[in-house]
Amino acid sequence: MNTLGIIDYGAGNLSSVCNSFRAIGVEGRLVRTEADLEGLTHLVLPGVGAFGDCSRALHNQGLTTAIRSWIAEDKPFLGICIGYQILFESSEESPGAPGLAILKGHVRRFAESELKIPHMGWNNVYPVNPQDPIWEGMGSEPHFYYVHSYYPEPENKELIAATSKYGADFAAAIRQGNLIATQFHPEKSQLLGLQLLRNFMSLS
């Protein structure tokens, strides 16, 4: 039986994430320390707030090494927004603050243009491999909800599972084994977001 943990670092969008999983019949358990990971099969790192704040909180709660170990063991992990960005080495948002450095690459700010920053609202997502089970039941160009000013640039482009466009193309999602991470918010994306959460919970 799958058991879900949702990391609480003091700034995540916890209520929306918990409610979304509850809507698909999954009751998540909050994770605040490494000991809270005991017995879990699936782990989510939601994201609201700044890169540096997330980095400090995870370190202070003793979760940095635990998350690295979880992902190294290829256990199902879903990072959302900041929970996606923190997987990389650094961010222009918080110079000097270390990411988890699980993936090589850096988080960039959208270039100044006629487009409003932050990128906020619904946008198309273009799966690189629509046959990937993580996109099952979503069609070829699903819509998801975004709120962000920064986005990761993975060094390894083969990690990119989906792209989106806001002025320029950017990596909307990555996948490495059972590691899934998205810049968009599934918990704010209605039916398609719930479908992605179901697909995540089906990973083993």
Collapsed DSSP state (helix, strand, coil) of residue 184: coil
Please state, in angstroms and rounded to a whole number, the distance separating the CA atoms of residues 37 and 63. 10
* 66 close to 34: Cβ distance less than 8 angstroms: yes
* 87 close to 103: Cβ distance less than 8 angstroms: yes
**DSSP assignments along 113-133, one per residue:** SSS-SSEEEEEE-EES-TTSG
Catalytic-labelled residue, pool 42, 81, 119, 148: 81
Catalytic-labelled residue, pool 42, 93, 148, 187: 187
Provide the CA 158 distance to its chain's centre, in angstroms.
Answer: 17
54 belongs to the catalytic site: no
81 belongs to the catalytic site: yes
Please state, in angstroms and rounded to a whole number, the distance separating the CA atoms of residues 202 and 204. 6
Specify the length of the chain in residues.
204
C-alpha distances (whole Å) from 81 to each of 39, 171, 172 are 26, 12, 10
Please state, in angstroms and rounded to a whole number, the distance separating the CA atoms of residues 72 and 65. 10
Please state, in angstroms and rounded to a whole number, the distance separating the CA atoms of residues 172 and 178. 17
34 belongs to the catalytic site: no
Catalytic residue set: 81, 185, 187
